[in-house]
Amino acid sequence: MALASKTTSLFLLLLAVWCFFITPSNSATDSFVFGGCSQLKYTSGSPYESNVNSILTSLVNSAMYTSYSNFTLPGASNQDTVYGLFQCRGNLNSGDCGRCVAKAVSQLGTLCLDSTGGALQLEGCFVKYDNTTFLGVEDKTVVVKKCGPSISSYSDALGRRDAVLGYLGASDGTYKPFRVSGSGDVQGVAQCVGDLSPSECQDCLSEAIGRLKTDCGAAKWGDMYLAKCYARYSEGGDHPHGQKGEQ
């Protein structure tokens, strides 16, 4: 737990630094959302380094065929074992998923040079690797929270926003890791990372959606990224990144 929050604060710190270097992208899929690295560095040329490279390569290759995958590469000792996963946004085709993960992995290589662990979220995909196991572990740490300006004319827009969030958070008991909804000009999108069980996914999304409501109040748009799921909504084209949940 202590490690998790330490890692997260480091993520946010790095995010602040990294944002200055991001060049705007035309593609909604490739836009940078957040990234961060563990403080620990591995030795260049170590077996751990080649494990990290193998796992990142496996992620890129796998993303051409599926929208979620996880890998574990055992090392000579426990601390050399590398775990990795990627999750593409549910509405990406395999070509776009593959390109997104390739881009995320290449940015991770720059951002997290020689780090034992790292995570990066682009609009279209999430990639993470580490030597501590995080696979199948629900983590509701807030990684990115952004709220737009307040809605000017309350009643209608806020009602539509609440309807969109209500729909995103609704559970009929089936496993729905990717959700989109819309009401009028308000759109919403939510997704879990594929390693969560159906009930963990629902729990994570409920937390993200609840936080959007409480923390963003009557904002025109909001982004709530937790470590293993996110929920976002926007009104019309008012989000700085444009339309959500669409290609």
Q: How far is the CB of 136 from ligand NAG (least distance, A)?
A: 3
Please, what sign has the CA dihedral across residues 240, 147, 127, 201?
Answer: negative
Judged by beta carbon, residue 29 or residue 87, the one nearer ligand NAG is: 87
And the tokens for 194? 């594929």
Q: How far is the CB of 8 from ligand NAG (least distance, A)?
A: 17
Q: How far is the CB of 70 from ligand NAG (least distance, A)?
A: 4
Element of type H or E holding 146: strand 142-147
| Burial label, 211 (beta-carbon count in 10 A; 0-12, 13-18, 19+) | middle
Judged by beta carbon, residue 32 or residue 71, the one nearer ligand NAG is: 71
Judged by beta carbon, residue 148 or residue 177, the one nearer ligand NAG is: 177
Q: How far is the CB of 137 from ligand NAG (least distance, A)?
A: 9
Binding footprint of ligand NAG on the chain (CB under 6 A): 40, 42, 70, 78-79, 116, 131-132, 135-136, 195
Q: How far is the CB of 61 from ligand NAG (least distance, A)?
A: 13
CB contact burial 63-90 (16+ within 10 A = b; e otherwise): beeebbbbbebeeeeeebbbbbbbbbbb
Judged by beta carbon, residue 39 or residue 106, the one nearer ligand NAG is: 39
User: Phi and psi of 230, rounded to 5°?
Assistant: -145, 160
| Cβ-proximal residue to ligand NAG, closest one | 79
Instruction: Taking each helix axis as running N to C, give the angle between helix 154-169 and helix 198-216, from 0 to 180 degrees, rounded to the nearest 10.
Output: 160
Judged by beta carbon, residue 135 or residue 170, the one nearer ligand NAG is: 135
